Amino acid sequence: MRIAREQSDPRATLRAGLPDRYLTPDDIAEIFEVPKETVYQWRRKRIGPPGFRIGKHLRYDPADVLAHVAERKSTDQDAA
Protein backbone atom coordinates (compact mmCIF):
# COMPACT_ATOMS: atom_id res chain seq x y z
CA MET A 1 0.00 0.00 0.00
CA ARG A 2 1.49 3.32 -1.08
CA ILE A 3 0.89 6.46 0.88
CA ALA A 4 0.51 9.55 -1.29
CA ARG A 5 3.00 12.27 -0.44
CA GLU A 6 1.50 15.67 0.22
CA GLN A 7 2.29 18.11 -2.59
CA SER A 8 3.94 21.20 -1.18
CA ASP A 9 4.08 24.67 -2.69
CA PRO A 10 7.56 25.02 -4.25
CA ARG A 11 7.56 28.77 -3.52
CA ALA A 12 7.02 27.93 0.14
CA THR A 13 10.21 25.88 -0.07
CA LEU A 14 12.12 28.98 -1.16
CA ARG A 15 10.47 31.16 1.50
CA ALA A 16 11.07 28.62 4.25
CA GLY A 17 14.65 27.98 3.18
CA LEU A 18 16.14 25.32 1.01
CA PRO A 19 17.38 22.00 2.34
CA ASP A 20 20.80 21.87 3.95
CA ARG A 21 22.24 19.75 1.15
CA TYR A 22 23.24 20.17 -2.46
CA LEU A 23 20.23 20.13 -4.77
CA THR A 24 19.70 17.87 -7.78
CA PRO A 25 18.21 18.84 -11.15
CA ASP A 26 15.01 17.12 -9.99
CA ASP A 27 14.94 19.40 -6.93
CA ILE A 28 15.42 22.50 -9.10
CA ALA A 29 12.67 21.39 -11.48
CA GLU A 30 10.29 20.84 -8.57
CA ILE A 31 11.12 24.14 -6.86
CA PHE A 32 10.62 26.20 -10.03
CA GLU A 33 7.75 24.03 -11.32
CA VAL A 34 9.43 23.37 -14.68
CA PRO A 35 10.31 20.15 -16.50
CA LYS A 36 13.75 18.73 -15.77
CA GLU A 37 14.70 19.30 -19.42
CA THR A 38 14.19 23.04 -18.84
CA VAL A 39 16.72 22.91 -16.01
CA TYR A 40 19.24 21.32 -18.39
CA GLN A 41 18.47 23.96 -21.06
CA TRP A 42 19.05 26.73 -18.52
CA ARG A 43 22.43 25.20 -17.76
CA ARG A 44 23.38 24.93 -21.45
CA LYS A 45 22.32 28.54 -22.07
CA ARG A 46 23.85 29.72 -18.77
CA ILE A 47 20.65 31.46 -17.71
CA GLY A 48 19.62 29.41 -14.68
CA PRO A 49 21.13 28.95 -11.26
CA PRO A 50 24.77 27.91 -11.50
CA GLY A 51 25.38 24.21 -11.06
CA PHE A 52 28.51 22.13 -10.69
CA ARG A 53 29.53 18.55 -11.22
CA ILE A 54 30.50 16.03 -8.59
CA GLY A 55 31.75 13.20 -10.74
CA LYS A 56 28.98 12.57 -13.24
CA HIS A 57 26.30 14.16 -11.05
CA LEU A 58 25.03 17.73 -11.44
CA ARG A 59 24.39 19.57 -8.19
CA TYR A 60 23.30 23.05 -7.12
CA ASP A 61 24.33 24.94 -3.98
CA PRO A 62 21.19 26.24 -2.21
CA ALA A 63 22.94 29.58 -1.55
CA ASP A 64 23.58 29.97 -5.31
CA VAL A 65 19.93 29.17 -6.07
CA LEU A 66 18.71 31.81 -3.61
CA ALA A 67 21.20 34.35 -5.02
CA HIS A 68 19.97 33.57 -8.54
CA VAL A 69 16.35 34.16 -7.50
CA ALA A 70 17.26 37.46 -5.80
CA GLU A 71 19.17 38.57 -8.90
CA ARG A 72 16.25 37.71 -11.20
CA LYS A 73 13.81 39.54 -8.92
CA SER A 74 15.93 42.70 -8.88
CA THR A 75 16.44 42.53 -12.67
CA ASP A 76 12.70 42.17 -13.24
CA GLN A 77 11.96 45.11 -10.91
CA ASP A 78 14.52 47.29 -12.70
CA ALA A 79 12.89 46.51 -16.05
CA ALA A 80 9.41 47.42 -14.79
Instruction: Give this prediction's pTM.
Output: 0.75
Give me the sign of the Cα torsion angle 10, 15, 16, 21: positive
| CB-CB neighbours of 31 under 10 Å | 20
1-13 confidence digits (pLDDT tens): 444 444 566 566 6
Q: Average of pLDDT values for 29-55?
A: 96
| Residue range 14-25, pLDDT digits in tens | 666 788 899 999
- Range 36-61 average pLDDT: 97
- Rounded to 10°, the helix 36-45/25-32 angle is 100
In the chain, the domains with their CATH numbers are 10-79 (1.10.1660)
